[in-house]
Structures are given as structure tokens and as C-alpha cells.
Amino acid sequence: MAKFYVTTPIYYVNDVPSIGHAYTTTIADILTRWHRLQGDKTFFLTGLDENSQITIKAAQKKGFKDFGKYTDEMAEKWKKAWKELNISNDGFIRTTEPRHKKVVTEFFEKINKMGDIYKGNYKGLYCDSCEAYLTEKDLENGLCPFHKKPPKQISEENYFFKLSAYKEKVLAHIEKNPGFIQPKTRRNEVISFLKGEVKDVSVSRPGTDWGITLPIDEKQKVWVWFDALINYVSGSEGNWPAELHLLAKDILRFHCVIWPAMLMSAGYELPKKLFVHGFMTINGQKMSKSLGNVIDPLYLKEKYGLDAIRYYITREISFGEDGDFSENGLKARLNNELANELGNLVNRTLVMIEKKSAGKIPAAKTDEGLQKKLNLKKIEEQMEKLELHHALAEIFSFISACNQFVNEKEPWKLKGKELDTVLYSLADSLRIISILLQPFMPSTSEKINQQLGVKAAKLKECKFNLLKAGAKVKKGEILFKKVE
Ligand SMILES: [Zn+2]
């Protein structure tokens, strides 16, 4: 049995889930469900970064003295949001959990034993919001490129990880494994970074009470990024190495340079693949709290239905690239592709079977011309390459072909065997469409199954003529209501 272990980055616990967080997590959910359909053993991990200094500031601002109480409350909100967004994660990791602290401590000790930790003085730039050390080269007009604010000058004694000692090894691994970092543009970015001067990184911070105590110096805490990355091991429940890490481009260097080096030093296997996606803009603008355009996915769910959002963000954005979210775009796809194409196909098929076939699946075989319109192999290849937008487009091209088939055959004019063939072909095709859509739109798929009177199936049942004749169908509510 093949294994599929996928991760999202862990999110800051003091945030609230935005459409941006929902995007990455939904993609991980879709991929996991796809692998479940294939019969693979899956493990889908998401979680929360709680040891950050940002967490304390947020807790203090809200008047909490007990930071643990604050993170407990916030963590419940995240878990609830993921449930409401139908995210089927297998694991959930919080970096304040004892199981995480234990693994971080062991991890650090392993690296230290390798001789890759040394004490030194850090003098340089630090961005509070990134919680990361920056170099002059990283800045844009003197500002942190992600937070548009000047970094602090700091000078402190802390411990360093010999990242420079792993530069060649990481580079060799990336060059030997073309699929390790994707897409290609990001891979090239990492390669060119590694070919330049790579400095050792500071992995501890003095003078804070919050976080994981450095095993070799109790006056210091583990640098939050060093701690956070280890969640992929500490939360893996025995599934390490991950088949896939999903991440956005602003955390590329942590994941594609520092993380592989940490794993090499500590003697762990490397993840199989890191996939870097772009940023989501809102109506063409960067999403940010200061602009006040952060969209709550639960608000969208209320307004448009969850599956419409899952469909829209997957179909609209070429996975890997930057993409724009707009409510108008969502409405257009909901009205055209979901209501007019998919919803209409389900509705007209069920209406005809109820009217013309006494609500039962007639005995027939699926039209061979229609069968040829489904390119299952292409869809499977696109999913394997993480081209989710293409796979979804391919599934919908088959849905359009089914609608066209109705228009051409004009079943309202037919009777007998010819009519039965059309009705059977449509119901059998819908059964297959429902399997293929399950990862993308799980509740829609379930509704289609209920109407057709079939059970949820696996990918291997995406073969024509498996629908049983004589089964009773039951037309349900319209799947997608159009919005103005
Ligand atoms: Zn920053």
C-alpha cells in the first residue's frame, strides 16, 4: 500500500483562519482525499505555531496573563474552523504540546552531538514579524520585503547551527532530485541562493520565558522557526518522511534550505517533495489586516456554500502561481460551471429517469461515444503533477460533454432501447463524475450519490457500466442555487 503523508505549514495561533490559510489547507485536503480514493494510506497534518513571541503580544493585548489559556482557546477556534470547512486532517499538532517539546529537544541534542551547534554573537538585523534574522540583501528599500517595516538592529549572544557546512549537500540533493522542490522557478531560486554565500543561522534567543528551553542552556529558548519546522516530525505519528510539504513562497528558505540541512544533521530522512505556492490577492490587492481585506472563509461558506468555495479557489488559481480571489469571480463560476453545468446535468438526468423510467435505472450500456469523452488517465496524471486546476477543468469538460450528449440525443423524443441507453449513460456517467469530484467537493459528491442511490466508491470504480440496473433514484434539492 502506498503512503501519502502531506503537511500544511503550521499557522500562528493568534491569527484567525483567513481564505489564504483555507486555500493551502483545502489543497492538502483535496490531495489527501484523492489518495484515499486511490486506496493509499494517508496522513494529513496541520497545526499551530504557538511558541512565537507574536503569540505573547497578542495574548497580552487581549488581557490574558495565562498564555496557555489563550492558546488553548485559540486552538479550539482553529479546530472548529477546519471542521466547518470540511477539512479531513488526520493529525493536528500544537507546538506547546509535550510530544512536540520532546522531539524538539531530542532533535537539538542530535544536531549538537554532530558538532553542528556553537555559541556565538549575533549582530545584525531581525524582523519581529518574520521572527527571523535578515541580511541587508534581503531588504527592499531598507524594509522587510514581507512586512514593509524596518528590521531591528540586534546584538545578542546565542547559539548557531552550522548551516554553511550543509550547503553543498543540500545543493547536491536538490540537483539530483529534480522533483524535490517544485515548481521549477522556486527550485531555481533555492539553487541560486545556495550557490551564493550561505551563513550559519542563529537557533536560539535569549531573554524570553515563552518557548522551548534550549537543552544545553536554560537561559535560552529555541528559535521559533527551528522549533516550528520540527512539527513535521513531532506530529507525524510514525509517518515520517512526508511525501509532500505544502508552503507559500515567503517561507521558502526555511523549508528548502534550513529544514533539509537540519534533517541531514540530525540523521533523518528528507521529505520527498516540497511544493511552493504563490500568494493570494483579493480583488487584485495584497491581503492584509491593515488593508482590512482579509476574507473569512466561514462568511463565504454562509453566503455561497462550502463546495462552491472549494471549487472556485482550486479552479481559479493555477496551483503554484499567484492568484486572485474575487467574489465576482466566485459568483460567475458558481452560476456557470456549478449551477448551469453540473447542477443542471444532475437535475435533468434525475427528472428524466423519474418521468420516463419510473424512477429506476434502466438496463442498458453507456454510449461508447460518450465514454470516450472521459480522459481518466489525463486526470490521474494531472493530480500526480499537482495540477489540480487542470484536473478539475478536465472533469468539467466531461460534465459539459454529458450535457451536450443530452442536447444532441434529445431523449424527450426517444423511447424504448434508445431512451434507456441515454438515461443509463447519463446516470452511469454521473456516478463516475461523483467519484472524481469527491476530493474537491465532498458534500456535493455525497448528494449526487444519494440521488443516484449509490454508495461512495473508490477510484478503481471509475469504469463505465458498473451502475446496477433496477436501482431506485430519488431526485433531491437543486445542488447549486444561482446568486445575483
Ligand atoms: Zn518581516
pLDDT bracket for residue 286 (50, 70, 90): confident
pLDDT score of 384:
96
Q: Is the dihedral of CA 341, 346, 347, 353 positive or negative?
A: positive
Spacing, Cα 250 to ligand 1 middle (Å): 10
Shared-domain flag, residues 46 and 190: yes
pLDDT score of 291:
72
Spacing, Cα 256 to ligand 1 middle (Å): 18
Shared-domain flag, residues 249 and 370: no
- Distances in Å between the alpha carbon of 206 and those of 11, 126, 213? 23, 14, 10
pLDDT score of 258:
98
Spacing, Cα 119 to ligand 1 middle (Å): 25
The single-letter DSSP state of residue 319 is: T
- Tens digits of per-residue pLDDT, 167-202? 999 999 999 999 999 999 999 999 999 999 999 999
pLDDT score of 392:
98
In the predicted structure, residue 313 carries a pLDDT above the cut 90? yes
Spacing, Cα 225 to ligand 1 middle (Å): 13
Spacing, Cα 160 to ligand 1 middle (Å): 21
pLDDT bracket for residue 300 (50, 70, 90): very high
In the predicted structure, residue 166 carries a pLDDT above the cut 80? yes
In a domain, 455, yes or no: yes
Residue 482 sits at the vertex; the CA angle it makes with 477 and 484, to the nearest 5 degrees, is 150
Shared-domain flag, residues 64 and 130: yes
Shared-domain flag, residues 333 and 229: no
Spacing, Cα 68 to ligand 1 middle (Å): 25
Spacing, Cα 290 to ligand 1 middle (Å): 15
Cis upstream peptide for 442 (omega within 30°)? no
Spacing, Cα 229 to ligand 1 middle (Å): 18
Owner of C-alpha cell 419510473 = 358
Spacing, Cα 136 to ligand 1 middle (Å): 13
Report the alpha-carbon distance of residue 44 to residue 28 in Å, rounded: 7
**In CATH, what number is assigned to the domain containing residue 438?**
1.10.730.10
Q: What is the mean pLDDT of residues 328-332?
A: 96
In a domain, 311, yes or no: no
In angstroms, how far apart are the furthest CA atoms of the chain? Answer: 86
Shared-domain flag, residues 11 and 91: yes
Report the alpha-carbon distance of residue 126 to residue 129 in Å, rounded: 9
Report the alpha-carbon distance of residue 198 to residue 260 in Å, rounded: 14
Residue 35 sits at the vertex; the CA angle it makes with 76 and 369, to the nearest 5 degrees, is 130
Shared-domain flag, residues 269 and 331: no
Spacing, Cα 231 to ligand 1 middle (Å): 22
Spacing, Cα 46 to ligand 1 middle (Å): 23
- Tens digits of per-residue pLDDT, 203-250? 999 888 899 999 999 999 999 999 999 999 999 999 999 999 999 998
Owner of C-alpha cell 434539492 = 477
Neighbours of ion ligand 1 (CB under 5 A): 127, 129-130, 144, 146-147
Least confident among 29-33, 106-110, 145-149: 145-149
Report the number of secondary-structure helices (H) and strands (E) in the chain: 19, 17
pLDDT bracket for residue 399 (50, 70, 90): very high
Report the alpha-carbon distance of residue 424 to residue 113 in Å, rounded: 67
Q: Tell me whether strands 117-127 and 152-161 are parallel, antiparallel or unpaired.
A: antiparallel
Give the closest residue to 190 by CA, choosing from 116, 259, 125: 259
Report the alpha-carbon distance of residue 2 to residue 280 in Å, rounded: 32
Shared-domain flag, residues 221 and 339: no
Spacing, Cα 280 to ligand 1 middle (Å): 18
Shared-domain flag, residues 184 and 36: yes
Spacing, Cα 146 to ligand 1 middle (Å): 5
Shared-domain flag, residues 348 and 239: no
Give the closest residue to 473 by CA, choosing from 435, 412, 427, 436: 427
**In CATH, what number is assigned to the domain containing residue 71?**
3.40.50.620
388: domain range? 327-461
In a domain, 67, yes or no: yes
Residue 240 sits at the vertex; the CA angle it makes with 10 and 85, to the nearest 5 degrees, is 40
Spacing, Cα 476 to ligand 1 middle (Å): 51
pLDDT score of 77:
96
pLDDT score of 129:
86
Spacing, Cα 149 to ligand 1 middle (Å): 7
The single-letter DSSP state of residue 133 is: E
Q: What is the mean pLDDT of residues 327-336?
A: 96
The single-letter DSSP state of residue 357 is: S
**176 phi and psi angles, rounded to 5 deg:** -80, -25
Burial of 479 from C-beta contacts in 10 A (0-12 / 13-18 / 19+): buried
In a domain, 467, yes or no: no
Q: What is the mean pLDDT of residues 39-45?
A: 97
pLDDT score of 288:
75
Give the closest residue to 391 by CA, choosing from 402, 381, 401: 381
Spacing, Cα 61 to ligand 1 middle (Å): 20
pLDDT score of 338:
98
Spacing, Cα 129 to ligand 1 middle (Å): 5
- Tens digits of per-residue pLDDT, 53-110? 889 999 999 999 999 999 999 999 999 999 999 999 999 999 999 999 999 999 999 9
DSSP-derived secondary structure for 85-101: TT---SEEEETTSHHHH
In a domain, 295, yes or no: no
Report the alpha-carbon distance of residue 267 to residue 269 in Å, rounded: 7
Shared-domain flag, residues 381 and 246: no
Report the alpha-carbon distance of residue 401 to residue 31 in Å, rounded: 25
Spacing, Cα 199 to ligand 1 middle (Å): 19
The single-letter DSSP state of residue 249 is: G
Shared-domain flag, residues 331 and 206: no
Spacing, Cα 26 to ligand 1 middle (Å): 26
For residue 191, what are the contacts with CB-CB under 8 A and spacing of at least 6? Answer: 171, 174, 175
How many other C-beta atoms are found inside a 10 Å radius of the C-beta of residue 412? Answer: 12
In a domain, 298, yes or no: no
Tell me if 244 sits within 8 A of 287, measured CB to CB. no
In a domain, 480, yes or no: no
In the predicted structure, residue 429 carries a pLDDT above the cut 80? yes
Tally of domains in the chain: 2
Spacing, Cα 151 to ligand 1 middle (Å): 7
Tell which of 277, 296, 317 closes a domain: 277
How many other C-beta atoms are found inside a 10 Å radius of the C-beta of residue 196? Answer: 9
Shared-domain flag, residues 264 and 377: no
In a domain, 256, yes or no: yes
